[in-house]
Amino acid sequence: MTMGAEIASGFQSIGIIGAGQMGSGIAQVCAAAGLRVYLNDVSDEKINSGIGRITKSLQKRRDAGKITDEQVDKLLSAIVSTPKLRAFEQCDLVIEAATEDEATKRKIFGGVYPFLNPTTVLATNTSSISITRLATATDRPQRFIGIHFMNPVPTMKLVEVIRGLATDQTTYDATAKFVAALGKLITTSEDYPGFIVNRVLIPMINEAVYALYEGVGSIQSIDDSLRLGANHPMGPLQLADFIGLDTCLSIMQVLHEGLADSKYRPCPLLVKHVEAGWLGVKTGRGFYDYASGAPVPLR
């Protein structure tokens, strides 16, 4: 069998690096599609917290009558806690979903590729960092690709796929087949900062933070305006909390540096929130406080 044919025959076992909001969601949808999943993070504690998040999400689906107890157990047993990268030698596809920081991601790729089978496709879930540049931290730029899932992964239909300059057609075709097997829809973006979704979405969120910073409106007014006036399901500040303010800031920085246009400068208030560690839902506080469950605006 040729290398290309092997890739095209379909990914069966998937490695995931980073068990945060996105990595755990990707693990869940891969398990639901009948694939074997190997889940890695920096510590057992982080992996367990990712598996805890998946368990909660599956239990919610069970309580809604969408899946049975047996299915919950089956899906959880398909996800293997993988503290050592060496275990990825058995994977057909490895998806990096770690913190949105280029140095972190480059270090991960440098650490993992020596363990991979030569035919393994290596992918990143980055929201904005150049696929072409990240590919240079691997030994396989032709088999490196951006697979950008949306948050929350189990419910969002779209997966944006980004080819780097060197990504080959076989890798793209196998990725498209994988995305379809997960029951998701694909859009293809060229490799420019922020790709399509975040090139449009994150500057809008940044502008909403500017509106708050300049006193144009309160958190509630800004979010209500977009929800009720533009028919958005969630206001931009609440959405920012949901995405993670560190991720939003990092994407603005990538747009600002990559497109060299001052219209992409991150709002100082966004920077301040990240400096305070108020990162949104994942830390219990962002533009809203989530301590009591329901979001309470902070200003």
Ligand X SMILES: NC(=O)c1ccc[n+]([C@@H]2O[C@H](COP(=O)([O-])OP(=O)(O)OC[C@H]3O[C@@H](n4cnc5c(N)ncnc54)[C@H](O)[C@@H]3O)[C@@H](O)[C@H]2O)c1
User: Strand, coil or helix: what is 289?
Assistant: strand
Q: Spot the catalytic one: 13, 24, 128, 160.
A: 160
Between 18 and 266, whose beta carbon lies closer to ligand X? Answer: 18
Between 17 and 255, whose beta carbon lies closer to ligand X? Answer: 17
Active site residue 148: yes
Q: Closest distance between ligand X and the C-beta of residue 28, in Å?
A: 13
Active site residue 198: yes
Q: Spot the catalytic one: 13, 130, 189, 198.
A: 198
Q: Spot the catalytic one: 57, 125, 127, 128.
A: 127
Kindly give, in sequence order, each residue whose CB lies less than 8 Å from that of residue 194, ignoring residues fewer than 6 positions away: 127, 128, 202, 251, 254, 255, 258
Q: Closest distance between ligand X and the C-beta of residue 259, in Å?
A: 17
Q: Closest distance between ligand X and the C-beta of residue 153, in Å?
A: 8
Q: Closest distance between ligand X and the C-beta of residue 112, in Å?
A: 9
User: Strand, coil or helix: what is 53?
Assistant: helix
Cβ contact 222:100 at 8 Å: no
Amino acid identity for residue 170 in this structure: T
Distances, alpha carbon 133 to alpha carbons 139, 174, 215, 223, 280, in Å: 12, 21, 39, 36, 29
Between 7 and 243, whose beta carbon lies closer to ligand X? Answer: 243
Taking the CA atoms of 188, 192, 198 and 201 in sequence, report the sign of the dihedral they define.
negative
Between 95 and 267, whose beta carbon lies closer to ligand X? Answer: 95
Cβ contact 86:115 at 8 Å: yes
Residue with tokens 């900062």, as numbered in its chain:
193
Q: Spot the catalytic one: 96, 100, 130, 148.
A: 148
Residue 52's nearest CA partner among 94, 84, 16, 19 is 19
Q: Closest distance between ligand X and the C-beta of residue 7, in Å?
A: 23
Distance CA 260, CA 281 (A): 31
Between 170 and 206, whose beta carbon lies closer to ligand X? Answer: 206
Kindly give, in sequence order, each residue whose CB lies less than 8 Å from that of residue 116, ignoring residues fewer than 6 positions away: 88, 89, 91, 94, 122, 140
CB atoms within 10 A of CB 199: 17
Between 13 and 40, whose beta carbon lies closer to ligand X? Answer: 40
Q: Closest distance between ligand X and the C-beta of residue 282, in Å?
A: 5
User: Which residues make up the interface to ligand X (CB under 6 A)?
Assistant: 17-23, 40-42, 46, 97-100, 104, 108, 125-127, 148-151, 243-244, 247, 282
Cα angle 181, 186, 188 (rounded to 5 degrees) comes to 140
Using CB atoms, what's the residue nearest to ligand X?
A: 20
Q: With the CA atoms of 170, 172, 174 and 178 taken in that order, what torsion angle do they form, in degrees rounded to the nearest 10?
A: 180
Q: Which residues belong to the active site?
A: 127, 148, 160, 198
